Amino acid sequence: MVIVSDKVVSIEYTLTDDDGEVLDSSVGEAPLVYLHGADNIVPGLEQALDGKSGGDRVEVVVEPEDGYGEHLAELVSTVERSMFEGVDELEAGMEFEAEAPDGETQIVTVVGVDGDSVTIDGNHPLAGQRLHFQVEIVDVRDATEDELAHGHPHEDGDDHQH
């Protein structure tokens, strides 16, 4: 079966950076399962998989604009330590949910702590990076009506409610 919109696709992948360092991998784990055409994975990878079939292997380099976007300086800011009420130890690398100016929830990463000043970054950790994917397409199947309605695949026997 060919990968087109509204197909559920299972892939095994390894993601590396420009230096060849492995950033993420599903090898040895369960495959990544996503609904093609529903923005479940980065656009550059989804475009590269379009038209491929089960068993195909694909190597693709995804530029930042087709991955997690460019790193935006305006998403880095300094806030008061008091914004982290109830957190005793605060250190670089910690991630928190925060409300974005548009009211949406976003993840911010602490990038520095200097006394009562905390520098946070609202960019995705891979923003601004070129992504190198090695992918094997494990399976392609038709999506169910529920999966299409929900915009993502469901695991076998998963009757969750939205």
Domain residue limits, the chain = 7-68+127-150, 73-121
- Cα 38 to chain centroid, rounded: 13
The DSSP bridge pattern shows strands 117-121 and 32-35 to be unpaired
Per residue of the chain (162 residues), give pLDDT as tens: 999 999 999 999 999 999 999 999 999 999 999 999 999 999 999 999 999 999 999 999 999 999 999 999 999 999 999 999 889 899 999 999 988 778 888 899 999 999 999 999 999 999 999 999 999 999 999 999 999 999 999 976 445 544
Domains 7-68+127-150 and 73-121 share a fold: no
CATH architecture of the region 73-121: Beta Barrel (2.40)
CATH class of 7-68+127-150: alpha beta
The closest of 37, 49, 38, 67 to 11, measured between CA atoms, is 49
pTM of the predicted protein model = 0.83
* Cα separation, 65 vs 149, whole angstroms: 28
Q: State the sign of the Cα–Cα–Cα–Cα dihedral 54, 59, 65, 67.
A: positive
Q: Under DSSP, is residue 162 helix (H, G, I), strand (E, B) or coil? A: coil
